């Protein structure tokens, strides 16, 4: 646990008592704060009260008299589409609003660091797609290289639940836009921006607000090194804002769409080969094609970002390459779950938006595609441009018929996962891939994308 600093004797309120909220409450208590808690869910309040926390509803600005700050869990809106009433009351009372990420960055360092030969580092990864794989890959590479590493944030452990730092250790954080938009302190040593595509637009008031939430990771604290994917205009803009000139190697530009050149520091992948250039000369290369845990161009982008982050931490190219070969990949992210009769079954349930599904479709050929769910803003037109390898689509979800009508490929309305898997397996042929890449949220039928991916796996295994 990381006890929160600067709160001793203060009254601090915590809104939202899920994993991050309860973790924040415990760390605040360990730091000497007087903690008040609230969650609209009675079961969550009961769990907090069972640990000895006081639960108090705070809906009027007068309720915040004497409260030093409000700590908000990531899923709770503070501005768009409408602020939560408790957040609004805190802001009207002039009470600062923060989250567990802000508490972590202000509390992680302590006096023991003076005795370390090598200071601990924090690597923070954000972006629309690939941030989980990128963060997990960085952690894996560091661990394989013998560097003490902890994985936390939006993946792994809660950020305040990690162990105190040790000599030369690294904390790798995956941070969503919900986490970066509100944290009052954001000071990573290395910050990574994978890419940007439309997502969570209602929460951020549009694409500009979404990008602004991501950008805060780089603008608030000024990381020593910034790894920036520049295959979208926002990445190009961000890299330009952070750089003092073409030769400024504090910014490492990453691409899987183009060969990069110039006097700066670049990492790019073309036709399955990763290349690192620095000061106009090649400094490293990796053949990514035989690495089973990183299939497809989207995973090659993740590999480039992770490679750049690890190089900025001083790891040698060959050490990174060796570690990549043992990376197993993450569940629900281009995960090969079975192979039978010359057919490969791939679970990419994490492809919850159109851009992620496009990248999954681009990674395989002769696809029997299971898709559908709770459609997000922006429509599905981009899917049709990437569906050249699709033999047939099998559409699930409550609105499966409407989803199927927007596709320019042969499509069968299945509604349920069981029927979709049954029909795909009845029609599959040798050399094909049965791919779950929904291009939609899961909440119409499942609690989360993990449940959806697990359901796919169960249905496949039941028929093999």
Binding positions for ATP are: 127-133
Query: Is residue 327 a contact partner of residue 303, using CB atoms and an 8 Å limit?
Result: no
Query: Is residue 256 a contact partner of residue 263, using CB atoms and an 8 Å limit?
Result: no
Longest dimension (CA), the chain: 68
Helix, strand, coil shares, percent, the chain, to 5: 35, 20, 40
Query: Is residue 173 a contact partner of residue 123, using CB atoms and an 8 Å limit?
Result: yes
CA–CA separation, 172 vs 3, rounded Å? Answer: 19
Task: Return left, alpha or beta for 419; rule: phi > 0 is left, psi -120 to 50 is alpha, else beta.
Answer: alpha
Residues of the binding site:
127-133
Which residues are bridge partners to 286 per DSSP?
274
* Cα→Cα distances 214→129, 194, 432, Å: 12, 10, 37
CA–CA separation, 171 vs 133, rounded Å? Answer: 15
What lies within 8 Å, CB to CB, of 426 at 6+ separation is: none
The angle subtended at Cα 301 by Cα 221 and Cα 118, nearest 5°, is: 45
Helix residue ranges per DSSP H, 368-410: 381-385, 400-405
Sheet strands (E) in 40-133 = 54-55, 67-72, 97-98, 121-126
* Cα R_g (the chain), whole angstroms: 23
């Amino acid at each position: 646990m990381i006890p929160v600093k600067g709160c001793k004797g203060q009254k601090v309120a915590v809104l939202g008592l899920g994993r991050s909220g309860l973790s924040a409450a415990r760390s605040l208590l360990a730091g000497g704060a007087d903690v008040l808690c609230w969650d609209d869910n009675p079961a969550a309040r009961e769990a907090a009260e069972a640990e000895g926390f006081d639960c108090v509803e705070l809906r009027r600005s007068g309720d915040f008299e004497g409260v030093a700050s409000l700590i908000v869990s990531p899923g709770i809106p503070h501005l768009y589409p409408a602020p939560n009433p408790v957040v609004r009351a805190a802001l009207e009372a002039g009470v600062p609003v923060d989250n567990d990420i802000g508490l972590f960055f202000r509390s992680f360092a302590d006096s023991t660091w003076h005795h370390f030969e090598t200071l601990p580092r924090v690597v923070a990864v954000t972006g629309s797609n690939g941030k989980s794989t990128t963060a997990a890959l960085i952690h894996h590479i560091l661990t394989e290289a013998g560097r003490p590493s902890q994985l936390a944030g939006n993946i792994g452990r809660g950020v305040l639940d990690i162990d105190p730092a040790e000599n030369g250790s690294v904390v790798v954080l995956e941070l969503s836009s919900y986490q970066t938009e509100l944290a009052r302190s954001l000071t990573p040593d290395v910050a990574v921006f994978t890419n940007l595509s439309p997502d969570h637009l209602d929460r951020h008031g549009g694409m500009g607000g979404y990008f602004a939430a991501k950008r805060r990771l780089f603008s608030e604290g000024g990381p020593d090194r910034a790894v920036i994917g520049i295959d979208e205009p926002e990445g190009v803009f961000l890299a330009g804002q952070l750089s003092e000139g073409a030769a400024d190697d504090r910014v490492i530009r990453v691409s899987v769409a183009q060969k990069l050149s110039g006097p700066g520091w670049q990492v790019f992948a073309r036709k399955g080969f990763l290349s690192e250039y620095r000061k106009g000369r090649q400094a490293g290369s990796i053949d990514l094609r035989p690495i089973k845990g990183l299939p497809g161009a989207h995973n090659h982008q993740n590999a480039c970002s992770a490679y750049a982050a690890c190089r900025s931490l001083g790891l040698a190219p060959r050490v990174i390459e060796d570690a990549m070969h043992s990376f197993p990949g993450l569940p629900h992210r281009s995960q090969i779950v079975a192979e039978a009769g010359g057919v490969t079954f791939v679970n990419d349930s994490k492809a919850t938006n159109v851009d992620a599904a496009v990248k999954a479709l681009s990674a395989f050929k002769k696809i029997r595609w299971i898709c559908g769910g709770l459609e997000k803003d922006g429509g599905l037109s981009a899917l049709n441009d990437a569906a050249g390898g699709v033999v047939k689509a099998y559409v699930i979800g409550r609105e499966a018929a409407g989803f199927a009508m927007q596709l320019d490929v042969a499509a069968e309305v299945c509604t349920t996962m069981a029927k979709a898997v049954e029909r795909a397996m009845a029609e599959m042929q040798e050399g094909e891939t049965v791919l779950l890449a929904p291009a939609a949220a899961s909440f119409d039928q499942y609690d989360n994308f993990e449940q959806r991916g697990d359901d796919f796996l169960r249905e496949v295994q039941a028929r093999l």
